[in-house]
Amino acid sequence: MSLVDALRGSGTVIAAELRPPRAELNSVEGMDAWIDMYHAVRGLARQDVRVFLTDSAVGTQEENNLRHLATNLGRDVPHDHMVPFLTTKHSLEFCLSYAEQAWQHGFPSLVILGGDRNVGRPRCVAHAWELRRAIREREPRLALGGWANPYGDPVQQVDFVTDEHFTAEYYLTQIVSHLSIGPVERFMGEIRRRHVDVPGVFGVFYYRSANPRTLATLSRFLPVPVEGLTEEFASGATAVDVCARTVRAMMDIGARHFYISNLPLHGTASTLNAILERVGIPTL
């Protein structure tokens, strides 16, 4: 079943978001990092988990995710379970060529994002939908994913998703949390009020601790409920507990599909299963 078909089905889709090794690693470190990535991806694919692979997620240059996926996955990982991210922070020709190569290598879907305007390379287009439209013209067989931010104005965010220029079969969301659920409830209410049929995949971060320096760094890139996280970890909650509470809370307000970000590369599948067990979702 394709990702889009799964998202439009009656069940819950669980995915993982992984980050490729940094481009500045030396050859030995880079190889070790990709071996770890390969084992994580293979373990997830065996359990029918889709994997989103980022592209310069936090403004630092990452290894070319598509090239390494095509080279290193081999035949034992189904390519249709892999969904690379592509940001606009490359040349337009690179992005269009990337899309063509993705289809040729058997990756049927891409998530197209704008990328942080404040760090790294400049965007090749002002908005991600412009790149999605250009890719759709170049390679119309690809299923494309977009983006929404439940912590933005709900009417405006749903306007983006329903706009005729959105050019995406589904969207991912900004990282959400049960510790800041009010804005997400309003976003979901607007989705229901307007009968939006574009499926969404909600981002959930696997916070490994409440280390103040780590949370401060993360806060530069995503909304982090620092005080609430600090209280939960101080009360004895584990990383699995905190992540599971967010998934459960989002399901309670109507979200059905999730991608879990920041899972460890060692024991990735077992960590994900521990989260799902805590939520009450059958393990994969």
Whole-number pLDDT of residue 68: 72
Is there a domain that residue 284 lies in? no
| pLDDT at position 80 over 90 | no
Is the Cβ–Cβ distance between 90 and 124 less than 8 Å?
A: yes
Domain total of the chain: 1
| Residue 144 β-bridge partners | 110
Structure tokens at 80: 């249709």
pLDDT class for 188, splitting at 50, 70, 90? Answer: very high
| pLDDT at position 61 over 70 | no
Whole-number pLDDT of residue 64: 67
Q: For the domain that residue 209 is a member of, what is the CATH number? A: 3.20.20.220
- Range with top average pLDDT, 16-30, 235-249, 270-284: 235-249
| pLDDT at position 154 over 70 | yes
Is there a domain that residue 92 lies in? yes
pLDDT in tens, 265-278: 889 999 999 999 99
| Residue 86 β-bridge partners | 112
Domain that holds residue 60: 3-279
| Residue 147 β-bridge partners | 172
